[in-house]
Structure 1
Amino acid sequence: MRGRGMRGRGMRAADGAPAEGVPMMLRTRLALGIGSIVTLMLVPVMLSLASMRQLRTDTERIRDVEFQAAVVLGKVRTAVQELDQAKEYLSILPEEATRQQVTEKLAAVRSLVDSLGALNGLAGISRVHASLQLIADESARTYQLAAAGRGALADSVLDKTISPAIDDIERILAFSEQSLQDRTRERVNEIALESVRSRNTSLRLLAAAALLAVLMGLWLTQSVSRPIDELDAGMRAVAEGDFGHPLQLAPQRRDEFGRLAASYNSMATQLRELDRLKAEFISVASHELKTPINVVMGYLQLLQDNVYGELNPRQLEIVSTLTAQSKSLARLVRQLLDVSRFEAGGGKVEPRTFPLPAFLGDLERTFRVLAIQRNVGFTVTRSIDLPADVRWDPERINEVLGNLLSNAFKFTPSGGRVDLEVERDGELVRMRVRDTGAGIPATELAYVFEKFYQASNQTTGIKGTGLGLAIAKGIVTAHGGNIGVESTVGVGTTFTLHLPITSAATRLMPFHQPEESTVA
């Protein structure tokens, strides 16, 4: 079958049948999903790092340009002040040392002004250079006038030319300082705004990445968990005997789940065919056995009726034993036929209205003799609010209660008790069959209603077929009721039935249907 399945898939591919989506194996899907999630989480991190690097660059630029310009500007102002002080000595001490000192101060100012201009920290640098040149020329003239003894004229040059030039330089420096402060403040504000924008952008990107990662994770979870849940539901159904459970998973999927679905369908088909063959074999075998058994029982009845002559006591004993065994065999065949009908869903119940008190009275009289023979106490308790009439299949319900009571007597030792309690429960009739027998282990309670299952409590040496409780459950369920069991080893067992007062069911459900039975 596997070979046929492989060839079938090969033929579908050759015929160009459409595949479901792009082929992607489960491991590939998981790898892509995890890789996408990692990438999504790395994007905002990388952008944040890039933004931080830009902020660092801007900060370093302020440090290297604006801050350095402010330092140089301060040095220029100090040098200009020193120059202003040195110029006064040109007319007071017209010596070579005084002239040399003024020249050095001018050179220091020019050097600092050039450095400040390189940092773009001085507005009107050409005016500063022009003023410095004027100061240099007039300082030389002032020195010459003072050295020639013309002090009044030298003072006039200082007051009217050199001092205004120095004042002009100081005004330019003050303006440049204010401009530098404004520019630095603006750059700092820009960096602060950029920092806020970067932070907000990073948070939005992180939130978007987290959302996309969650969506990607949900997609991965759904793409994996949904097929797994479907396969789990299918396997549970098969384990419960429902071999026709439809799997909502296409075997044409070109991934691991598609192969699993194809394997599941193949397995379910084979199990369904085996189940059908088993039921068919049981049905055919039971029918084939039924006729010869009836013939044997007929002849045994004729022998008991002395149709073929008088039988001696020994012969009567043998005929009675053969009759009892034939009846036991006939009962087994009847149960096998019921099982085969249940499997096919073809068993029928025929509800009709009948008096419940009379039904219970007949049942009590039937088992009273067995109770006396086995020295077991037996009572049937009826509540006063029981309905006068019920609509059930009396033969089928008699079979259920008869099976439960027979089991109770079989597993209850001499001196024990078996009780049948019948009471009304709303629109239902509740019946309890209680015994003080060996009890059923708790680990086996869930299986007692399965076909051919025999509990390990059969210490009496009397073995059954394991079909009675399965048939009883089918009959009770067909009436719209339910059956449950409670048991304690060494104390006893209680079977509880709930049947609607009026049942409209006409067909027994197959055993593999998920019928409920309560197990306490």
Structure 2
Amino acid sequence: MANVVKPAVLVAATNSARAAALSSHLLQADVVHVGDGESLLRESHLRPPDVLVLYTDFQAAVPLGELMGILRSREDLSTTRFVAVGTQGLGALLSAGADALMSDGAAPEALAFLIGNMLRRTREQRELQEKNASLLKKLDAWEHEERVRDQLVHMLVHDLKNPIAAVLGLLEIVEDDERLPKDMKELVHLSREETQHLLHLSVNMLDVRKIQAGKMNLDFELMFSPMLREVIDLAQNDVGAGLRERRLTIEVSPNLSPVRADPDILRRIFANLLSNAMKHTTAGGHIDVAVMQVGEDLQFSMRDDGEGIPAEDIPNLFAAFEQSRLTLHGRFDTGMGLAFCKLAVEGHGGRIWVESVRGQGSLFTFVLPLARDEEDDDDFAELVS
């Protein structure tokens, strides 16, 4: 077993018998006697005491109040408890920073009891300081890892986005070339779909990190039914040509109460949900989008008749790097698309959830709060001013 270091009690007294009497009642501590100021300073440097007992008849080169102040100012004695014992001059030591006062006529048992309580509090304080230091160290390490991860994600996305977009553009040109044989056109079409997917993955990865770090600022606008329909139409173009192989219906209720939202982010939410529905349905499958008002919220829903999601996958479906184990394709998915949707919807003050039955499809729903009347008035005033 490792040796247990006893707490140290330093007794500054002219008479060494005081330390000896105290030692017999403090078996849990090492009691050390010092008889002069020079010894006190030396011993307290060699082993900073847990408790320092200073008798008022102690002989030192400077006044005891001044000596107490010197000791109190030392960083290595920041957790040391100071006890002043005597019949005269206790007030000066109290002013200089003594933690407790005791009469010189008190029994050694009483002084030992007081010191025992101080040792316990000192031990607890040091344990808390050690825990705090350990937590701070872990926090620093975590923050460093987060900074490195953010820099890596930022570098990857920005270094990959431009060449991926360039490849996507070249593939579009090749696919539109009438001289391309039909079988080759199908391969180029598949390459375009995968390249588009790769572009979505990289952008979603960066945006998820931005939202988690609180670095993505939403540009809210007052949005009505026509704008919502326009956003959904734009999102279709972001998904890719594969969406044309599904039967897509869109119903946006007319004259909806306005909602405050960032059009670009809302477009990204729809693009991710449409892409997810497309991945989990076969050609000819149905995808139904609906926007309607439900109470004080605007409800957006997307239903598909695809493979559905296993019940055990649903609780973690919106977490980054999570995806359903059941898919119609062999493509690896980071799950960043749905993670982005959740963070973006919550950034608008809304919530998102999914309902699914194995083999019957899935229903993704999110709601955003309607704009309050005072917000409507502010935006209207900006429009007419």
**What is the TM-score of this pair, normalised by structure 1?**
0.42
Match of 2:161 in 1: 290
The counterpart of 1:430, out of the listed 299, 303, 310, is: 299
- Percentage of matched positions with identical amino acids: 30
Q: Secondary structure at the match of 1:418?
A: strand
Q: Which residue of 2 aligns with 1:270?
A: 141
Corresponding position of 2:383: none
Q: For residue 253 of structure 1, give the secondary structure of its aligned residue in structure 2.
A: helix
What's the offset of the Cα at 1:429? 0.5
Q: Structure 2: how far apart are the matches of 1:251 and 1:498?
A: 53
Q: CA shift at 1:282, angstroms?
A: 0.8
Kept after mapping to 2: 8 A contact 1:385/1:423: no
Moved more, 335-344 or 313-322: 313-322
Question: In the alignment, residue 250 of structure 2 is paired with which amino acid?
Answer: V
Structure 1: state its 5+ residue gaps.
1-9, 23-249, 505-520
CA distance in 1, matches of 2:189, 2:332: 21
Distance 1:394 1:348 in 2: 13
- The answer to whether the 8 A contact 2:231-2:266 is kept is no
Counterpart CA distance in 2 for 1:428 and 1:452 is 30
**Correspondence for 1:347 among 203, 216, 227:** 216
Q: What's the CA shift for 1:283?
A: 0.6
Instruction: Pick which of 358-367 and 266-275 moved more.
Output: 358-367
CA–CA separation in structure 2 for the residues paired with 1:352 and 1:281: 32
- Secondary structure of the structure 1 residue equivalent to 2:76: coil
What's the counterpart of residue 18 of structure 1? Answer: 78
Quote the Cα distance in structure 1 between the aligned partners of 2:137 and 2:254.
Answer: 57
Tell me the amino acid that sits aligned with residue 78 of structure 2: P
Change (3 A) 1:497 1:487: same
How far has the Cα of 1:280 moved from its partner? 1.2
1:124-143 matched pairs, under 5 angstroms: none
Give the Å deviation of 1:336. Answer: 2.4
Give the drift of 1:304: 6.7
2:319 pairs with 450, 454, 457, which one? 450
* 1:281, distance to aligned residue in structure 2 (A): 0.8
Structure-2 change in CA distance of 1:406 and 1:297 (3 Å): closer
- Deviation (angstroms), 1:359: 3.0
Q: Rg: which structure is higher?
A: 1
**Aligned-partner residue type, residue 288 of structure 2:** D
Say which of 465, 473, 478 aligns to 2:342. Answer: 473
User: Structure 1 residues 380, 313: closer, same or farther in 2, change over 3 A?
Assistant: closer
Residue from 378, 381, 397 that aligns with 2:266: 397
SS of alignment partner, residue 391 of structure 1:
strand
**Which of structures 1 and 2 has the larger relative contact order (alpha carbons within 8 angstroms, sep 6+)?**
1
How many residues are treated as equivalent by the alignment?
Answer: 261
| Per-residue Cα deviation, 1:329-365 (whole angstroms, up to 9, x for no partner) | 3322222221332243212322223442353266369
> SS of 2:363's equivalent?
strand
**Distance in 2 separating the partners of 1:251 and 1:265:** 20
1:320-359 alignment runs, 5 A limit? 322-359=191-228
The structure-2 alpha-carbon separation of the partners of 1:295 and 1:349, relative to structure 1 and needing over 3 Å to count, comes to same
Q: Secondary structure at the match of 1:432?
A: strand
The TM-score normalised by the length of structure 2 is 0.55
Unaligned runs of 5+ in 2: 1-46, 51-73, 83-121, 376-385
How many angstroms does 1:422 deviate by?
2.0
Partner of 1:195: none
1:386 is aligned to 2:242: no
Residues 422, 297 of structure 1: alpha-carbon distance in 2 compared, 3 angstrom cutoff: closer
**Residue in 2 that maps onto 1:254:** 126
SS in 1 for 2:367: strand
Q: What does residue range 29-428 of structure 1 map to in structure 2 within 5 Å? A: 253-255=125-127, 258-297=129-168, 312-313=180-181, 317=185, 322-360=191-229, 363=232, 373-374=245-246, 376=247, 378-383=248-253, 386-387=256-257, 389-413=258-282, 417-428=286-297
Match of 1:497 among 363, 366, 373: 366
Does structure 1 conserve the Cα–Cα contact (< 8 Å) formed by 2:235 and 2:270? no
Q: CA deviation at 1:17?
A: 4.4
Deviations 1:360-391 (A, max 9, x none): 266369759866624x5x4334446622x443
Contact kept? 1:20, 1:254, Cα under 8 Å? no
- The 1-side partners of 2:301 and 2:277 are apart by 11
CA distance in 2 between counterparts of 1:496 and 1:437 reads 16
What amino acid is aligned across from residue 79 of structure 2 in structure 1? A
State the Cα deviation string for residues 202-227 of structure 1 (Å, max 9, x = none).
xxxxxxxxxxxxxxxxxxxxxxxxxx
After superposition, the C-alpha distances for 1:52-81 in whole angstroms (9 at most, x for unaligned) are: xxxxxxxxxxxxxxxxxxxxxxxxxxxxxx
